A and B are shown apart, each in its own frame.
Chain A
Amino acid sequence: MRREIPLLITGIVGVVFVIQYFIPHYPFNQLNNWFSDWFSIIAACAIWLGALNLLKVSANKIYRKREDWGFSIVIIVCFLIITIIGFAEGEGFRNIGTKFDWLYQYVYTPLSSTMFALLAFFVASASYRAFRARNFDATLLLVAAFLVMIGRVPVGDAIAMKLHLPLSIYPSEISSWIMNVFNTAGQRAIMIGIALGIVSTSLRVILGIERAHLGGD
């Protein structure tokens, strides 16, 4: 019961999607529509699950007075503030001028953007400390990175212009060639490799051979 039903669900749903690819007509298109709507609702609940779990973990931290428990209060309070405002404002909660939109523009946007922007500093620091031409392979990687970095910004061409280099070896031309030829070849090899992996894993999942998603017991 605990394993058979999930296996059956996976198999049926997977097969319907495969058939629908070849026969996009009734009843398979109908089933496809139903399944994709259910998928959206489940996806929403999965994200709700994540949010509720966050609240549970934070509340637990406060209750047990673990290290930095005060910040868990901030998490819960902020969650409640945006949730209450979002629910109170109704369906148009995202419209410009709403309180929810204010929170989006002046709290959510700066925080999320800066969190990712911080990586710029660490990329630079790591490049200085760890990016070394230790062997031929690493040298290729380093040279390609160098050429792309200098070629994708105007300063590369500005320097080439000052040095009166031929147009065909301008950094922008070289980086464009690297991207369109070597990068395309490498990405394509990786892409085909990953796709074949996905195809075989999907087949194993649909046929019930791969059961990792069902967990233990």
Chain B
Amino acid sequence: MLKQILVYALILALSLIGYFVITEPIILGPTASMVIIILIALVLLYILVRTIMGSFVGRRTVFTFVAIAVILPFFMTVDQPIKVSPEVQQLYDAVMALRPGSKVLVSFDYDPPSAPELQPMAESFFALCIERDLKIIIMGLWPQGPQQADLAMQTILREEAFAGKSWKYGTDYVNLGFQSGNEFVIQRMGGEIGSMFHNDFYGTPYDSLPLVRNIKNFSNIDFSFNLSAGYPGSVEWVQVAVDRYGLKMGAGNTAVQAPQMYPYLRAGQLTGLLGGLNGAAEFEKVTGRKAKGTRFMVSQSFSHVVVIAFIIIGNAAFFLGEKRRKKPEGETS
């Protein structure tokens, strides 16, 4: 119990120091960054040797390395080349091909846990739509979705680049809110969107919103973008809106879900796909608006390298340990 209290006190002390004592942001220059990287590599090498000798490090050591790999890059100045993959380019091209004034339906089918991956995509997509003067219709099959949409729209409208744009609610974008019923909602929207959304997120009647007043169903939508973290999400949108009603759709998925979407992409059921934070960073690169996706890629790179290093260490120990075990057998035979 005493140990626990000491740990709590230490965390509190560190937090207070971080909050009140260190008032300036920490920025590590390229040399300091390089030194830190070399130090981490040396410690990993030490762990490799230790593991080969038969002594596995505890899980808390692995946890510490993961934390370091994620946190340190926030303070580093490292430039990385981001390459745009064909599926991201395809989505970008599809949006760019839309004429100004086209209506884009964006469905937010995720909740806060997936926001680190999907929120940067949402923001970049909104930014591109506003830049291209595309009209945005927001909705959600997850109750938290429209709230996430609101946060993304606020972030974009606060940006300097869009300060001069008179982007008005009701005529340039609307948030229809959440509707329960999963894929049944999509099916009903295929017949009549208004039948599923009598009021918008703020309680305004559907028919009072100039942007959607004349939108009957998917045939009046020029493009759709679905941000999804699971069920209901992109799979259901493809099955119902795309395959049954012919809606043209691109998707932004969490990295866990993205591999399952590739068959749809290859079959032409999806027009472009952003997979995980990497997809968000690539989309930022192609749209030319560097934001959180790009910034987080340094941490993402470091954490991947650490996981790979631990896999290699584990396997090196496995094979060398195996050899050591086999040797005495060979000698006796």
Contacts and interface: CB of A to CB of B under 8 A. Distances in A.
Q: Are chains A and B touching in the complex at the 8 Å CB cutoff?
A: yes
B304 A150 contact: yes
B181 A124 contact: no
A176 B195 CA distance: 41
24 contacts: A33-B188, A36-B187, A36-B188, A40-B180, A91-B203, A104-B147, A124-B65, A124-B310, A125-B62, A127-B307, A127-B310, A129-B59, A131-B311, A149-B307, A152-B276, A153-B300, A154-B297, A155-B301, A170-B83, A172-B85, A176-B86, A180-B266, A187-B262, A187-B263
Contacts of A179: 259, 262
Interface stretch (A3-11, A93-101, A205-213): A93-101
Contact of A113 (B115, B187, B259): B115
A183 B87 CA distance: 14
Question: Considering residues A39, A94, A129, which has the most beta carbons from chain B within 10 angstroms of its beta carbon?
Answer: A94
Interface of A: 24, 29, 32-33, 36-37, 39-40, 43-44, 91-92, 94-96, 101, 104, 108-109, 112-113, 115-117, 120-121, 123-125, 127-134, 142, 145-146, 149-150, 152-155, 157-158, 161, 170, 172, 176, 179-180, 183-184, 187-188, 191
Question: What 3 pairs across the A-B complex have the smallest Cβ distances?
Answer: A154-B80, A155-B301, A36-B184
A155 B83 CA distance: 11
Interface string B159-185: 000000000000000000001111011
A128 B313 contact: yes
A214 to B, nearest CB: 23
Given A39-B181, A40-B184, A113-B113, A146 B311 contact: yes
A154 B304 contact: no
A94 B150 CA distance: 10
A170 B81 CA distance: 12
Given A94-B147, A153-B300, A191 B62 contact: no
B20 interface: no
B181 A36 contact: yes
B318 interface: yes
Interface in B66-125: 66-67, 70, 80-83, 85-87, 111-116
A9 to B, nearest CB: 17
A157 B187 CA distance: 43
A127 B311 contact: yes
A44 B311 contact: no
Contact of B315 (A32, A33, A133): A133
- Chain B residues touching A, majority SS: helix
A132 B314 contact: yes
B27 to A, nearest CB: 20
A124 B187 contact: no
B253 to A, nearest CB: 12
B310 A157 contact: no
A183 B259 contact: yes
Interface string B213-225: 0000000000000
Contacts, number: 157
Given A33-B195, A36-B188, A121-B66, A128 B311 contact: yes
Contacts of A96: 150, 154
B303 interface: yes
Given A155-B80, A184-B266, A187-B259, A109 B115 contact: yes
B202 A92 contact: yes
Interface string B19-40: 0000000000000000000000
B228 interface: no
B262 A184 contact: yes
Contacts of A40: 179-181, 184-185
A154 B82 contact: yes
B201 interface: yes
A117 B114 CA distance: 9
Nearest to B111: A112
A147 to B, nearest CB: 10
Contact of B116 (A113, A123, A152): A113
A184 to B, nearest CB: 4
A170 B175 CA distance: 42
Given A157-B83, A161-B81, A128 B62 contact: yes
A101 B150 CA distance: 11
A48 to B, nearest CB: 12
Contacts of B208: none
B234 interface: no
A76 B280 CA distance: 39
B124 to A, nearest CB: 17
A78 to B, nearest CB: 17
A191 B263 CA distance: 9
Contact of A94 (B181, B201, B281, B310): B201
A40 B302 CA distance: 44
Nearest to A134: B318
A130 B307 CA distance: 12
